[in-house]
A and B are shown apart, each in its own frame.
Chain A
Amino acid sequence: MIDGTAAHLVVSGITKRFAALTVLDRVDLAIARGELVTLLGPSGCGKTTLLRLVAGLTLPDNGHITIAGRDLTKVPPHRRNVGVVFQSYALFPHLTVAGNVAFGLNVRRRPKSEVAAAVHRALQLVHLEHLAERPIAALSGGQQQRIALARALAVEPDVLLFDEALSALDRNLREEMQIELRRILREIGATAIFVTHDQDEALTMSDRIAVMNHGRIEQCARPREIYTRPASLFTLQFVGLSSRIAGTVAASDNGRIQVETPVGRFEAAGTLAPGDRAIVATRPEYLRVGSDGGGNTATGTIRTIVYQGSRCLVDVEAASGQSLLASLSGDQAADLSTGAPIRLSWPVTETFAFPAPEARP
Chain B
Amino acid sequence: MMRRYVIIGSGAAGVAAAETIRTLDASGLIWIVTADPDGYYSRPGLAYYLTGEAAREQLYPLPNHYWKELGLRWHVDEVERVDPEGHRLVMKGGKDLPYDRLLLATGAKALLPDTPGINLEGVLKLDTLEDADRLLKLARRGQHAVVVGGGITALELAEGLAARGMHVHYFLRGDRFWSGVLDETESRMVERRLQHDGIFLHYNTNLVEVLGRGGRVSGVRAKTGDDACEMACSVVAVAIGIRPRKELAEQAGLLVGRGIRVNQCLQTSHPDIFAAGDAAEVLDPRSGEYVLDSLWNPAIEMGSAAGRGMAGRMTPYQKLVPVNVTRLGGLVTTIIGQVAAKRDALLVDLDLPGIMRGDSEVFRQHPDAVVAQSLHDGSRLRLYLSGGRLVGALIMGEQALSRPVQRLVRSGEDLGELVPQLVAPGARLDEKLWEFVKN
A binds B: no
Give residues in B with beta carbon < 8 Å to A.
none
Give residues in A with beta carbon < 8 Å to B.
none
